[in-house]
A and B are shown apart, each in its own frame.
Chain A
Amino acid sequence: MRDIPPRWSSFLVRYYHRGIILIAAGLALVLMLSTPPAQWLPVGAMTILLFAVATEMLPVSLLHGGTQVTLGFPIVCTVIAMYGTVPAMAVDSLPTLLAGVLLNRSYPLRHRLRWGMFNAAQSAISAGTAGIVYYWCSAGATGFLTIHTLLALTLAAVVYLMVNALLVSVAGALYNREPLPNIWQYMLRIVLPTYILVMPLSILLILLLRTYHVAGFIMVAVPFLAARECFRQRIQQIRNYRETIRALGLLVQHAHPYTSGHLQRASQMAISVATRLGVPTRHIELLPEAAALHDLGKVGVDEAVLNKLTPLTEADWQMIRSHPLKGAEIVSGIKHIEPVALWITLHHERPDGKGYPFGLKLGEIPIEAHIIAVVDAFDAMVGDDEKGEQRPYRKPKTVPEAIAELQKGAGTQFHPEVVRAFIDALAAGEFGVEHAKHAVSAVAKRQAVA
């Protein structure tokens, strides 16, 4: 994890992970004392623990859209139902700790231990609460696999995933400055599919473990690991696809020399601004795509017109004004990024209705199109740090000049909120120290006026 100056209170950042570890330890202690040792130290649980360690060593990446496939979760459900809460906490947290210490060798051991313990504590709390919920719900159930226990298991699984999602997202917000996601959205998009994929497996595990003990576990582990490997490969392929399209799209636009570094920077800026404005996560994910591909339509415009030094004729203007629609036509054929086509169509619209191609007004234009407009304009104004990136028809501006230009255009050419968020992001140093210096003074001036 990176060491970043905290956005929230430094107290929280400093003590949060210690607090989580303490809570986990306390929970484990209370549960251990409240049940006899014979119940929380069976040999079976130890075997499973070893197995879980092995699987945790192969962390599986996120599926497109974020569905997570882990073997750890069905194991935890199984252990809760078969052996109790404390073994489940151990089975969930110890492999996490081990994986944290053994992997990522590039970090110092102290660092790995500290974060390994933190992650282990998070797992332990999730498993502990799930176990408590399971035994509270299944109290009085007769028989082993009944509707009663199945319901209890389902509820425990949901609790597990919710607690885990909460802890992971708070930690991400505190330590990685990731936006705090909407928990409900997270539940629907990530937790529910994971649950549906993995729940049958944990029931299968319970059945096999009951009938064949450890041998049953191995019986199911082989096909499961194979399926998991398939998933991993498919995830990789989807990533490849997106990268391929993006890379090729960038190359196509590189035909116009000034766009080289510009598009890469623009995607980074767009994400920062969108995060500040609270744009939904799934749209933030698409913004790099939009920023990278927004000028694709310019391949359909004569570069002699784009680079013309003499005044443009009406026909020239018409051609230039056609580029957002041409870009959208190309992009609309690419799967998985459908909303991007609309933003690209509208990235030259202005709040005052003087933009093109349609002349829409403030409320009619999606915020993402405004974001693309602002970052594109800023980078086009200052984008002279690399050779060949100057636009021949205008001289590059300094950063303060560009900021002043954005502020002047706020409300007419640019969305005022977006300009504000953009300058705040600049001032926070998100696009480099040099830019931040100038932006800080702009923010100070704004506050003095207000």
Chain B
Amino acid sequence: MSFTTFVYIVVMGSVAFLCYYALLWLPGQIRRDYRQGLQALARAVEIREHGTTGSARLRAYYATQIAGRLGLPVQMIRDIEFAALLQEIGKVSIPYRILNKEEPLTDDEEEVLKLHSVLSQRMVEQVPSLARLATFIRHHHENWDGSGYPDGLRGEEIPLASRILHVVGDYADALRGKDLDNPSLRLQAVEQIAAGKGTRYDPRVWEVFQAIVRAETSRQASLSTHERYA
């Protein structure tokens, strides 16, 4: 092999590497960066609201699972994942005392707490690269029968993403202050919110969610949430 051939091969290899780097490696890396950054900021809300450590990851994990099983496009699944991380971010503007009150909330306090979906929407709207998630986040407490907030949308009027966020949000709420890695507590939480099927939640989304949880518990998955959603 002549020296020139050798140089040709090295050069072609470098160009191939350059293409691989720019087209394949870098986009994946940036996606991981985004995920980590948003997880970090979601952590801010978890620190503010006692007993919710790990809930953002939990929501993101189940939201992507549901979206995947519903056969949504990849880009949509990623959007839903990020929206699940950020849906509670507006709670940084809800008074600390209300978020962490031990006793049941009064009606007034309940109303203040309900502002969080609109607050989250407004925050996310102000960041150009995330603005497309704002609508999903605004409607993540709309009920299937129209009794939810803030706009009282019903059925198919609610964006599918928001219907998914609603289920995972309530599930994470039901697990507040509990050990996220305990399978029986997880099942309990599912039973606790199961009454919402058809009234609060889209029946189709609920079925998929339940199937996922059943499959997990039947496998007696011993992996921690951390390991499943790294």
Q: Are A207's CB and B33's CB within 8 A?
A: no
Query: Hey, what's the 0/1 contact readout for A355-368 against B, CB within 8 Å counting as 1?
Result: 00000000000000
Q: Are B47 and A245 in contact (CB under 8 A)?
A: no
Quick check: A299 and B40 within 8 Å, CB to CB? no
The listed residue (A230, A240, A252, A301) touching B41 by CB distance below 8 A is A252
Contacts of B32 in A (CB 8 A): 335
Bound complex: CA of A244 vs CA of B37, how far in Å? 9
Chain B min CB distance to A216 (Å): 13
Contact B127 A299 (CB under 8 A): no
Residues in B neighbouring A237, C-beta threshold 8 A: 27, 30
Specify the chain B residue showing the minimal Cβ separation from A333: B40
**A203 lies within 8 A of chain B by Cβ:** yes
Looking at B92-100, B153-161, B185-193, the stretch in contact with chain A turns out to be B92-100
* Minimum CB distance partner of B34 in chain A: A241
Cβ-based interface call for A329 (8 A): yes
* Contact call B45/A299, Cβ cutoff below 8 A: yes
A244 in contact with B34 given A249-B41, A299-B47 (CB within 8 Å): yes
With A227-B19, A241-B37, A244-B34 as given contacts, are A296 and B44 in contact (CB-CB < 8 Å)?
yes
Given A299-B44, A299-B92, A335-B33 in contact, is the A251-B4 Cβ separation under 8 Å? Answer: no
What residues of B have a CB within 8 angstroms of the CB of A234 in the complex? Answer: 22, 26-27, 30
| CA gap between A303 and B98 in the complex, in Å | 12
Chain A residues with CB under 8 Å of B44's CB are 252, 296, 299-300, 330
Residue from B3, B11, B41 within 8 A of A245 (CB atoms): B41
- Of A237, A255, A297, A332, chain B has the most CB atoms within 10 Å of the CB of A255
Q: Is A200 a contact of B14 with CB atoms below 8 Å?
A: yes
Q: How far is the CB of B15 from chain A (nearest CB, A)?
A: 7
Question: With the chains together, A300 CA to B53 CA distance in Å?
Answer: 12
Q: Does B10 have its Cβ within 8 Å of any Cβ on chain A? A: yes
Tell me the smallest distance from the CB of B53 to a CB of chain A, in Å. 11
Give bound CA distance, A297 to B22, whole Å.
36
C-alpha spacing A252/B45, complex, angstroms? 9
Q: Is A215 an interface residue (CB 8 A)?
A: no
Interfacial chain B residues near A336, Cβ < 8 Å: 33
Is B3 a contact partner of A146 (Cβ separation < 8 A)?
yes
Whether A145 pairs with B4 at a CB distance below 8 angstroms is yes
Q: Report B115-138 CB contacts with A as 1/0, cut-off 8 Å.
A: 000000001101101100000000
Residues from chain B with a CB closer than 8 A to the CB of A147 are 3
- Chain B residues positioned under 8 Å from A251 (CB to CB): 123, 126-127
- The answer to whether the Cβ of B43 comes within 8 Å of any Cβ in the partner chain is yes
- A223 and B33 alpha carbons, distance in the complex (Å): 28
Which residues 72-97 of B sit at the A interface, judged by CB distance below 8 A? 89, 92-93, 95-97
The answer, yes or no, to whether B23 is at the interface (CB within 8 Å) is yes
CB distance A230 to B22 under 8 Å? yes
- Whether A245 pairs with B37 at a CB distance below 8 angstroms is yes
Whole-angstrom distance between the Cβ of A54 and the nearest chain B Cβ: 21
Complex partner residue of B18 from A227, A296, A332, CB under 8 angstroms: A227
Asked if A178 lies at the interface with its beta carbon under 8 angstroms from chain B, I say no
Chain B residues, Cβ within 8 Å of A231: 22
| A331 in the interface (beta carbon within 8 A) | yes
Asked if B1 is an interface residue, CB under 8 A from chain A, the answer is no
From residue B17, how far is it (CB to closest CB) to chain A in Å? 9
Name the contact of B3 in the complex, choosing from A145, A230, A247, A334 (C-beta under 8 A).
A145
Segment 4-52 of A: residues with Cβ below 8 Å from B? none
Q: Which residues of A contact B15 (CB under 8 A)?
A: 200-201, 204, 223, 227
Q: How far, in whole Å, are A334 and B41 apart by their CA atoms in the complex?
A: 8
CA distance A255 to B22 in the complex (A): 39
A214 within 8 A of B: no
Bound CA span A197–B26, Å: 15
Contact present for B22 and A330 (CB under 8 Å): no
Q: A245-B41, A248-B130 are in contact. Are A207 and B36 (CB under 8 A)?
A: no
- Measured between beta carbons, the chain A residues less than 8 angstroms from B45 are 299
Contact B30 A255 (CB under 8 A): no
CA distance A15 to B211 in the complex (A): 77
> In the complex the two chains form, what is the Cα distance from A290 to B75 in whole Å?
32
Q: Which of A207, A301, A335 has the most CB of B within 10 A?
A: A335
**B48 is an interface residue with CB less than 8 A from chain A:** yes
Indicate the member of A197, A201, A252 with the most B CB atoms within 10 Å: A252
Q: Is the CB of A207 within 8 A of B4?
A: yes
Enumerate chain A residues within 8 angstroms of B36, measured Cβ to Cβ: 333-335
List chain B residues, Cβ under 8 A from A370: none
Query: Which one of B43, B47, B96, B123 contacts A248 once the chains associate, using CB atoms below 8 Å?
Result: B123
Contact B47 A329 (CB under 8 A): yes
Contact status of A248 and B93, CB under 8 A, knowing A234-B30, A241-B33, A299-B47 = no
Q: Take A207-B8, A230-B22, A255-B92 as given contacts and tell me if A241 and B40 are in contact as well, using a CB distance cutoff of 8 Å.
A: no
A303 and B11: CB pair below 8 A? no
Q: Is A243 on the interface with B (CB-CB < 8 A)?
A: yes
In whole angstroms, how far apart are the Cα atoms of A314 and B26 in the complex? Answer: 49
- Provide the bound-state CA to CA distance between A307 and B160, in Å: 41
Which of A297, A299, A302, A334 meets B37, CB within 8 Å?
A334
Shortest distance between the CB of B202 and any CB in chain A (Å)? 29
Is A348 close to B, CB under 8 A?
Answer: no
Are B30's CB and A334's CB within 8 A? no
Q: Does B39 contact A (CB under 8 A)?
A: yes
In contact, B93 and A244 (Cβ under 8 angstroms): no
What string of 1s and 0s marks CB contacts (under 8 Å) between A59-94 and chain B? 000000000000000000000000000000000000
Shortest 3 CB-CB contacts between residues of A and residues of B: A333-B40, A200-B14, A230-B22
A residues at B contact (CB < 8 Å)? 145-147, 150, 197, 200-201, 203-204, 207, 223, 227, 230-231, 234, 237-238, 240-241, 243-245, 247-249, 251-252, 255, 296-297, 299-304, 326, 329-336
Q: List 7 A-B contacts (CB under 8 A).
A: A197-B18, A227-B19, A248-B89, A255-B92, A326-B47, A330-B44, A334-B36
- Point out residues on B near A: beta carbons under 8 Å: 3-4, 7-8, 10-12, 14-15, 18-19, 22-23, 26-27, 30, 32-34, 36-41, 43-45, 47-48, 89, 92-93, 95-97, 123-124, 126-127, 129-130
